[in-house]
Structure formats: C-alpha cells, structure tokens
A = this chain, B = another copy of it.
C-alpha cells in the first residue's frame, strides 16, 4: 500500500485494522468456516459504520470519503481485509452503491448498503469461457418488459442478497438491471470455494421479467458503467491480494528466523535467502502497481484500464506464487489446516481466479497497447 498516508487515512486504516484484529481474529475465521453466511450481521453493520461501504458514494447520496479519493481509501480497507483475511462483501457493496449513486438509480437501495444492513449481489461473472469479462446473459426487451435468461456465477453473498446488479448483453451492447432477489425466475445454488468466510452462489435467471424501470443506465449502453465497475472491483481485489501477500510474507520471514535446521536458522541458508529476496521484490512490485493502478482509476486517468489490468495480471501471478513459496518454506506444517498461513493463501488464491486470470488481463493490456499505438498512428 501507499508508503505515505495522510493523517486521516492513517487513522482510518488503523481503526479498521484494530477493529478487524478484535472482531475477526483467526479463531473467529475458523469458526466462521461452518457459518452459512460467513460473517456476522453485527460485524458488518459496525464495519459499515466505520465507513467501509460509503467511500465511493458522493456526499449527496449519503456517502463519505476519508481523503479526496474514496477509491484510494477503499483500497486501504481492502489491504487490511487481505492482511486479516477478513469476512464480508466489501467489493460488491461498494461497487453497487457507487453505481446506484452515479447513475441515480434506485436511490432507495443505497442507504441499506451504506448502513451495512442490506446485502447486494454483483452479478457480473459467468461460467468459463465467459469469465473472460464478456457477459453472455441475455437481456431482451419484450413490450414493456425486460426478459433475462442466463446464469451468473460466482456471485458473492448471493444467498444473502436482497437484490442483484445484473450485467447482460442486449444485441451487441451491454445492459445492467437491478433485480430483486425474490423476483420470479431467480434461483440461487450455493457454490463451494477456497476461502473460509467468503460465500458464493450461482444465480440463475430463467425468463425473469422486469419493468423497464429496472434498468441501470440505458439499454445496451452500459459498457462504460461496466468498465468502471470492473476497474473499481479490480482495485479492491488487488489491494486485498497485496494485503494477503504482506501477511504471508511477514509470517514467513519470522518463521525463517525462528525455525532451525541443522543447527542454523532457515534464514541463514542462501538458497532460501535468495527466494526471500525474490518474494520481497514481488511484494514491493505488487504494492507499487496496486497503488499506481488505484490512483489511475481514482483519477479516471487514460491509462487506468491498462494499469489496473496489469496489476491484476501481475499480482494474480506473483502474489500467489509468493504465498505458495511461503507454504513451501514452512514445509509440512504449511499444508495443514492447523497453521494460519493458508488463511491468506486462500484469499490470494480466490482473487487470482476471480474476474479474469492473468492471461485474460494480459490480453486486455495488449488491447490497450494496440489502441494507443493505433492512435499514435
């Protein structure tokens, strides 16, 4: 994360960290493994009170940022989430609240998200091969109604969501709609996943009919909104993954000093020292590109899309390699449930596979490069 925080950001980050330390220590994370929701209502409401879900929403809609960039503030929270493998639908709550506010859609739904009393599902991803960020769910117009057909998965906290923000395809354009969870034709199948406290569902939309008023933005014209949401979401995933890396790395450096083999600490073996040097470099590079991309997205810079995809590709690849090398350094204990290291490995692994693998993002970066070169002539 940022090397230098403003004093407000610093306070905000510390407050969040202290809250997570107290509310979701590893014992609680382990307990939540068997909880169907994965987080406590009260925990989430109190986190929202700290501001976790208000950061991307303009004050006019009830939001409040810590600095002049709510997205940077959010990335600080996400970083702490990664460091704590913290529970709760941080990404979807923020992205959806931001979208509803920016598009002036269903403003009645925003307050619940900001207060942490309602949960919404960001129904964006689909089954491979459409997980490559190209939605295949169909949204067509029939008379006065919109008709949805398709499956969205994985959708975070789908079973708890009171409504979904659904992205689909109308002809060659993208469309977004708000779908109440109890709409006829909507069904949720629980999914399994690698994280202990995250919960996902596959949400099926079978001839789901909605009034045209359910639209978010214009029919077939949501591409820019979708791209913005994707970039915000990637900022959150990246920062969270860097947090997980940082914790895994710190634990493993400690271990290398504590653990002796053949009468010497692991940290004295040059083959391992060089791997720590490699990990330190991955870690600093991940911090650097995560922050840089967050700044670019926050300021709507022309290279925001390129940088945030570069960050996702780089961190997806090297972040998890770092965490797996931490496992390797721990030896047998590192692959047991008893040890805490996997809590962070799980978060990193989850984020690597969500919203596009590294290859998907490399292709996105290449497209940005090609566009720039074409524009240059």
Contact = CB atoms under 8 A, between A and B. Distances in A.
Interface of A: 269-271, 273-274
6 contacts: A269-B270, A270-B270, A270-B271, A271-B271, A271-B273, A271-B274
A271 B271 CA distance: 4
Contacts of A273: 271
A347 B274 CA distance: 30
Contacts of A274: 271
Nearest to A274: B271
Contacts of A270: 269-271
6 pairs of A and B residues whose beta carbons are closest in the complex: A270-B270, A271-B274, A270-B271, A271-B271, A269-B270, A271-B273
Nearest to A268: B270
Nearest to A269: B270
A332 B273 CA distance: 23
Best-buried of A269, A270, A273 by chain B (most CB within 10 Å): A270
A287 B269 CA distance: 31
A269 B273 CA distance: 11
A270 to B, nearest CB: 4
Contacts of A269: 270
A80 to B, nearest CB: 34
A81 B270 CA distance: 37
Nearest to A277: B271
A256 to B, nearest CB: 14
A274 B271 CA distance: 7
A351 to B, nearest CB: 27
A274 to B, nearest CB: 4
A270 B266 CA distance: 12
